[in-house]
Amino acid sequence: MAGFWAYIIPPELPTIVLRLVLAFLAGAIMGFERERVYKDIHRQKAAGFRTYSLVCFGSCLFGLASIYGFSSFGVNQDPGRVAAQVVTGMGFLGAGAIMKFNGKVEGLTTAAGMWVASAIGLMFSAGMYVAAVLAAFFAFLILDFHRIFPGLFQAIKFTPDDEIERYTEIQAKRKIRRRDRINSDDSK
């Protein structure tokens, strides 16, 4: 009976649970930021808390299954095979998230964010805790950078009146330069 419980509850279970919880938290933080910002601004459905949490958590599950789920006997003992398929699969999902409407491309940040979330999940599954936490922090920083530094990415917007005023100002300067040039030629 002890062998049965050892089979059901492996000695690696605390490590596995820690990795899963950390992967979920990293994805949840990124997803929370996206949902808070994107849905507030655009009022559309976007990849948010659930999507990022599931992507990060799911990729961690795939990595853990690759590391602990298969016996490492024989020729096929490379746990990186499953991780490579996670990268490919996330590329496929990311391509589906990118859409083009009327010449405007949307979904690039969502696709890139989900791809990064899957990489962070794989890092947690491999036991790279510090690097994964650091990566999650930088991903959150990147996704929330425009809120942290709001004036940094503001574009200068001109109204038609501004354009007319600017054009008139440029024309006036040209006339003055032309007049000064003619006056300097006449004085020679």
Does the pLDDT of residue 36 top 80, yes or no? no
DSSP conformation letters of 15-70:
HHHHHHHHHHHHHHHHHHHHHHHHHHHH-S--S-HHHHHHHHHHHHHHHHIIIIIS
Q: Phi/psi class of residue 147: alpha, beta or left (left: φ > 0; alpha: ψ in -120 to 50)?
A: alpha
Classify strands 99-101 and 104-106 as parallel, antiparallel or unpaired: antiparallel
Does the pLDDT of residue 5 top 60, yes or no? yes
pLDDT band at 42 (very low <50, low <70, confident <90, very high): low
Helices (H) and strands (E) in the chain, counts: 7, 2
Digit-coded pLDDT (tens) for 146-188: 777 776 666 555 556 666 677 677 778 888 888 887 777 666 6
Name the residue type at position 146: H
Q: Which tokens is 182 given?
A: 């003619």
pLDDT value at residue 77: 66
Model pTM score: 0.62
The full set of domain ranges for the chain reads 2-150, 155-188
pLDDT value at residue 112: 82
pLDDT value at residue 90: 83
Higher pLDDT, 81 or 38: 81
Taking alpha carbons only, the member of 23, 27, 34, 41 closest to residue 108 is: 34
- Report the share of the chain in percent with pLDDT over 90: 2
Does the pLDDT of residue 74 top 60, yes or no? no
